[in-house]
Amino acid sequence: MGRILAIDFGRKRSGIAVTDTLQIVANGLTTVPTHTLIDFLQGYVQREPVELIVVGQPKQLNGQPSESTKWLEPFLNRLRKVMPDMPLVMWDERFTSVIAHRAMIDGGMKKMDRRNKEIVDTIAAAVILNDYLQSRRSTL
């Protein structure tokens, strides 16, 4: 069984989270500059068994695609060309940044550390991945 990798895609940087190989626990991995994201993913998949990539799908509160979708689509098209055999799942990412901030506060993180957007992006990717894992468990 391979890992599941999640991406909180952003114009400047993207948060990455992965599961363990048993796909039980979601952990924040890192944040990478978005312009290097494809290279990072290719390298990671060569080193680690990944069976699925979950990508946060930006939506407005009414469920319609958000403005950020125009930046995400070209990335997805390129990813599909570079990794044609890798399954991709789009997952609603509404409120993940808010949940990430709440987790940071609840975890006792200092205010200055909570301002670090890279940490927020990594935690948001872990929230996306955890939501995806929870949905799979509820359908079993």
DSSP string, 34-73: GGGHHHHHHHHHHHS-EEEEEEEE-B-TTSSB-TTHHHHH
What does the alpha-carbon distance between residue 92 and residue 82 come to, in Å, rounded to a whole number? 24
Distance CA 9, CA 31 (A): 10
pLDDT tens per residue, range 74-89: 999 999 999 999 999 9
| Cα–Cα dist 33/121, whole Å | 11
Residue 101 is predicted with a pLDDT of 66
* Predicted model pTM: 0.87
Q: Which amino acid is at 127?
A: V
pLDDT at 12 over 80: yes
pLDDT band at 123 (very low <50, low <70, confident <90, very high): confident
Average pLDDT value for the chain: 88
Element holding 6 (H helix, E strand):
strand 3-8
- CA–CA separation, 91 vs 100, rounded Å? 16
Amino acid (1-letter code) at residue 64: Q
Q: What's the pLDDT at 59? A: 74
Q: What is the pLDDT of residue 25?
A: 93
CATH placement of domain 3-139: 3.30.420.140
> Which residues fall within 8 angstroms of residue 90, CB to CB, at 6 or more apart?
54, 55, 57
Calculate mean pLDDT across residues 8-13.
94
Residue 28 forms beta bridges with which residues?
17
15 or 69: which carries more pLDDT confidence? Answer: 15
Answer whether 27's CB lies under 8 Å from 125's CB. no
pLDDT tens for 30-80 read 999 999 999 999 999 999 999 999 999 887 777 677 777 888 999 999 999
For residue 140, is pLDDT > 70?
no
Digit-coded pLDDT (tens) for 88-106: 999 988 767 667 767 767 7
Token pair of 125, please? Answer: 């990717």
